[in-house]
């Protein structure tokens, strides 16, 4: 079995690119040549198909030598937030409309909703926690339609 050597650019744990030689076994030579001719879009599609077919991920494991805090901050920045807390910042002119929205989204009684809105006049109040993104955006639109300002955290 003969091997072919191909140049490749590899990213190290420190984030630097290094040129290295990759030995391609003869049994994979044809396959590697076909993959080299694929466009980037076709290659990305192939990777997704292989991930689904074999139940694997093409992501590289994180090196142990990397600072754990840096990795955690990069991971949270890269991930899109999917769960939000809804905080009522200001009530606006239509206090009764805002109370109705609070009752609707929290399923609280009239007194509890009124107390929450009254408290929000002086300081921001948490209306609902751990809400999915789509639902949170929908609630935000309802509050804004009633004249209130909310923040998704």
The single residue listed with the structure tokens 């809105």 is: 117
For 83, residues 6+ apart whose C-beta sits below 8 A from its C-beta are 130, 131, 132, 133
Domain count, the chain: 2
- Which parts of the chain register pLDDT below 50? 1, 62-66, 77-78
> Is 102 domain-assigned?
yes
Say which residue the tokens 């805090």 belong to: 69
115: number of CA atoms within 13 Å, CB side? Answer: 6
The answer to whether residues 52 and 109 belong to one domain is: no
pLDDT tens for residues 108-124? 889 988 998 888 888 88
**Residues paired with 21 in a beta bridge:** 7
Between CA 129 and CA 137, with CA 132 as vertex, the angle to 5 degrees is: 95
Q: Give the domain CATH number at 142.
A: 3.30.1390.10
State whether 88 and 131 are in the same domain: yes
Is pTM beyond 0.85 here? no
In terms of domains, do 9 and 48 share one? yes
The pLDDT score that the predictor gives to residue 128 is 87
Q: Provide the pLDDT for residue 78.
A: 45
Q: Give the pLDDT score at 57.
A: 73
- Is there a domain that residue 75 lies in? no
pLDDT of residue 64: 47
Instruction: Kindly report the backbone phi and psi dihedral angles of residue 118, in degrees, each rounded to the nearest multiple of 5, phi listed first.
Output: -60, -40
Residues 6+ apart with CB under 8 A from 46: 35, 38
On whether residue 71 sits in a domain, the answer given is: no
Q: How many CA atoms lie within 13 A of 62 on its CB side?
A: 11
CA distance 59 to 54: 14
């Amino acid at each position: 079995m003969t091997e072919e050597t191909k140049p490749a650019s590899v990213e190290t744990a420190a984030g630097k690119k290094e040129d290295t030689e990759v030995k391609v076994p003869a049994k994979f030579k044809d396959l590697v040549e076909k993959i080299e001719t694929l466009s980037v879009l076709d290659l990305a599609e192939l990777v997704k198909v292989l991930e689904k077919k074999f139940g694997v991920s093409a992501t590289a494991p994180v090196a142990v030598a990397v600072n754990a805090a840096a990795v955690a901050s990069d991971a949270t920045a890269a991930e899109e937030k999917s769960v939000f807390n809804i905080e009522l910042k200001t009530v606006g002119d239509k206090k009764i409309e805002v109370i109705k929205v609070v009752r609707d989204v929290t399923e609280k009684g009239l007194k509890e909703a009124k107390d929450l809105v009254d408290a929000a006049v002086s300081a921001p109040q948490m209306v609902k926690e751990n809400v999915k993104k789509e639902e949170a955006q929908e609630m935000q639109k309802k509050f804004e339609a009633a004249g209130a300002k909310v923040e998704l955290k």
